[in-house]
Structure 1
Amino acid sequence: MKKLFRTAAAVLTGTLLLSGCTQLDLSQDVEAFPEFNSWTSYGTGTATYADLAAAANTISNATDAQVRILTSDTAIGRLTPLRKKQATMGRLGDEHMFAYYGDEEFANPEWGPQDLRLVWAPTAPHSLMVTAASGIETPEDLRGKKVPKISANPSVNNKYDALLAYGGLTWDDVTPVTVSYSEQPEALKSGKIDIAFQQVYGASLYELANTIDTKWIGFDPAETEKVAALQAVAPAVEIEPFTRAAGQDEGQEDYGMIYSVPLTSYADLSETQAYETAKALQEHYPDYRDATVTTENWDLEHVVTMPVRVPFHEGTIRYFEEMGVWTPEAEARNEALIEYGEELRATWPEFLAQADTSGDLKAQWTAWKDTHLDPIP
């Protein structure tokens, strides 16, 4: 059965209307969880938002702090308030990686590589829902079907790329349909698209499964070549089982894409603000653990503590060290990622000075990195 979370006045939700927002003092040192926080996230109908709101609501009630959650369907929309210092951090999809490396839509003169840090990195299962009447059983069956291209969301589009790679398909084998991330459930119901990719516990997916028969199309971890093709496109993804999702029967198990959707900040967030946020998320975990299906993955036993593509914030590292979960291997990896990020940001102006800005900057930037920088550590 779906788990719900309770909302409270302490947690405010709004769309990203930035013109009237005040800049926050991200350098301010604190001695407890900050009295006011502004976080960004996916839309209110998603499980990504539900998890974040549950944690924020619990901490707010316990500390009398206020957390404003700003929602957006787009990667740029979730990151812009952080960049403008109108939000302290955001729960981001793979845009936290794309922005760090200046890839995808961040390969443009307005952005380029961003100096980001992970504050807390819970994982969550995502998968691909179809209608029971569609006849689609595996990714291979998507040939000729209507597959979403998610507007301004490189993270999710990367997962669709990976899905097609698993099935031995390309975008030339399917019919791309442009929709926003939150439009997918209704578009699937109306027949505008034939498949939808979301975190499997989203409220909108439960609503959809209550109105029409749906099912999850499967990945098989034993298909090692197909999984390797998927991970070549989306290297942070693991194929693992999930249960209790929208449309599943009691005890049913399907396989989906499991990866981190981390709470992320810029590096200039003060060490104490990151530390107190990480500390609060762990110390208040028992009170929000059962708020949603996936908040049980928000404690130190389950969150990612080894940096993979983006380094952790120094405040989080201090907390990890106090809790005995930060290793020499993690420290070495973190330092290597920080140094690589510094190289990326240092070479970006030189790249732009010689780039053809009327052409494909993404391809030019990729070629520049291959030529001028050592491989990613």
Structure 2
Amino acid sequence: MTKLTRLLASLSAGVMLLSGCATLELNEEVSAFPEFNAWTTYGTGTATYADLAAASNTISNATDSQVRILTSDTAVGRLSPLRNKQATMARTGDEYMFAFNGEHDFAHPDWGPQNVRVVWAPPAPHSLMTRTNTGIETPMDLKGKKVPVITANPSVQNKFDAVLAYAGLTWDDVIPVNVAYSEQPGALQAGQIDVLFQQVYGSSLFELESAVDTQWLELDPEDTERVAALQEVAPAVEIGSFTGAAGQEEGEEANGYIYAIPLMSYDSVADSQVYHTAKALQEHYPQYKDATATTEDWDIEHIVKMPVEVPFHDGTVQYLEEMGAWTDEAEERNQALIAYGERMREEWPKFYEQADLDGDIHEQWIAWKDQHIEPVD
């Protein structure tokens, strides 16, 4: 905790407002890590930010380059700077998948399916925290409780949908409360909500722990029926254990969501920029691996190397091939996902021309894809 607090304090000057960003030369080929980068991610009180800040600060110091981090609570807010060429990459939640598929907040005339790619995909534990006086021990106890509806953040909202599916509940069984992602700790402390969802090592959760007694909801990885229901809603999620989080005694374990929180970009970013980013993240890993509780999973041994729902960038593929970490199976799936993305972007204008704009565009788009595009198995 002390290490994380020092890191955030030392890097706070590196956070800048979006309005101060210049347009970047995303297509410029480079022979080393770019001299200037702007990356986006979640807010400064989150572990997602702390991980990215640790890696970027280490690389910046080692290469005499500059990486500035833009923060946003919303999915669109994290991806807009990339599309507007004000940032090269983003560390996101599941919005990298939603953007690729044109779903949720991206099922919109301003967006649709985006040609995005995975750059580096370290996993991280997330889970659901409650106060010890709420009577909530497992997801099944959420019935009748105040559960967040996260503003403009479909990735996190999907995780609440998934835990309700695990519990055999629906939103009609709980009390929905609208709240922004970063507002969750304060809302939980004030009793406005009864549960929150975050990466388990966020500094804001340690601050919350110092004010009120907290605990994590327990998920059972052996309950195959409930886990299957959860993964039907959130297919990229695995159930696994974590330790050393806020609200835990020394040596205490709990089970939560384990899934990749990748650094991603648009396909249009030059292959050499992505290649040297992947290379820098690996080569400088020994200097930042102990910076936070989860940066130990940022090396090539631990990152996700098989494309799941979004293809990997050619620059990353080149680096993984050089390191002997790219398989024929990964290449086959990557090409299938690239072709799937091309089909979606071809179909989107046809779909939108006939869509009922007063209806649910997301659901209409899903139905259109089911009818017109062969999915990737």
The unaligned stretches of length 5 or more in structure 1 are none
Give CA-to-partner distance per residue, 1:287-345, whole Å, 9 cap, x none. 00000000000000100111000000000000000100000000000000000000000
- Aligned 8 A contact 2:7 2:50 in 1: no
Give the structure 1 partner of residue 181 of structure 2: 181
Q: CA deviation at 1:93?
A: 0.5
Opposite residue 12 of structure 1, the aligned amino acid is G
Identity %: 65
Give the number of the structure whose residues are more often helix, by fraction: 2
Opposite residue 240 of structure 1, the aligned amino acid is G
Give CA-to-partner distance per residue, 1:325-370, whole Å, 9 cap, x none. 0000000000000000000001100111111112211111111011
Query: For the residues of structure 2 that align with 1:85 and 1:251, how far apart are their CA atoms?
Result: 45
Query: For the residues of structure 1 that align with 2:56 and 2:75, how far apart are their CA atoms?
Result: 21
- Aligned 8 A contact 1:11 1:69 in 2: no
Correspondence for 2:18 among 16, 41, 55: 16
Query: For the residues of structure 1 that align with 2:344 and 2:144, how far apart are their CA atoms?
Result: 40
- Aligned 8 A contact 1:11 1:68 in 2: no
Query: For the residues of structure 2 that align with 1:140 and 1:361, how far apart are their CA atoms?
Result: 31
Give the structure 2 partner of residue 79 of structure 1: 79
Give the structure 1 partner of residue 31 of structure 2: 31
- Aligned 8 A contact 2:26 2:88 in 1: yes
- Aligned 8 A contact 1:11 1:53 in 2: no
Q: CA deviation at 1:59?
A: 0.5
Give CA-to-partner distance per residue, 1:98-153, whole Å, 9 cap, x none. 00000111111110000000110001000000001111011010001000000000
- Aligned 8 A contact 1:216 1:254 in 2: yes
Equivalences for 1:138-157 in 2 at 5 Å? Answer: 138-157=138-157
- Aligned 8 A contact 1:11 1:60 in 2: no
Give the structure 1 partner of residue 254 of structure 2: 254
Query: For the residues of structure 1 that align with 2:212 and 2:92, how far apart are their CA atoms?
Result: 30
Opposite residue 194 of structure 2, the aligned amino acid is D
Partner of 2:126, secondary structure, is: strand
Opposite residue 83 of structure 2, the aligned amino acid is R
Query: For the residues of structure 1 that align with 2:171 and 2:16, how far apart are their CA atoms?
Result: 35
Give CA-to-partner distance per residue, 1:164-190, whole Å, 9 cap, x none. 000000000000000000000000000
Give CA-to-partner distance per residue, 1:194-223, whole Å, 9 cap, x none. 001000000000000111110001000111
- Aligned 8 A contact 1:120 1:263 in 2: yes
Partner of 1:222, secondary structure, is: coil
Give the structure 2 partner of residue 6 of structure 1: 7
Partner of 2:38, secondary structure, is: strand
1:277–1:11 distance in 2 versus 1, CA, 3 Å = farther
Query: For the residues of structure 2 that align with 1:87 and 1:165, how far apart are their CA atoms?
Result: 36
- Aligned 8 A contact 1:2 1:244 in 2: no
Equivalences for 1:101-180 in 2 at 5 Å? Answer: 101-180=101-180
Partner of 1:109, secondary structure, is: coil
Opposite residue 7 of structure 2, the aligned amino acid is R
Query: For the residues of structure 1 that align with 2:205 and 2:17, how far apart are their CA atoms?
Result: 21
- Aligned 8 A contact 2:118 2:311 in 1: yes
Partner of 1:93, secondary structure, is: coil
Query: For the residues of structure 2 that align with 1:3 and 1:209, how far apart are their CA atoms?
Result: 17
Extract structure 1 runs of 4+ deviating beyond 6 A.
none
TM norm structure 2: 0.98
Query: For the residues of structure 1 that align with 2:124 and 2:290, how far apart are their CA atoms?
Result: 15
Give the structure 2 partner of residue 305 of structure 1: 305
For the pair 1:268 / 2:285, whether they are aligned, the reply is: no
| Structure 1 vs Structure 2 CA RMSD | 1.2
Partner of 1:321, secondary structure, is: helix
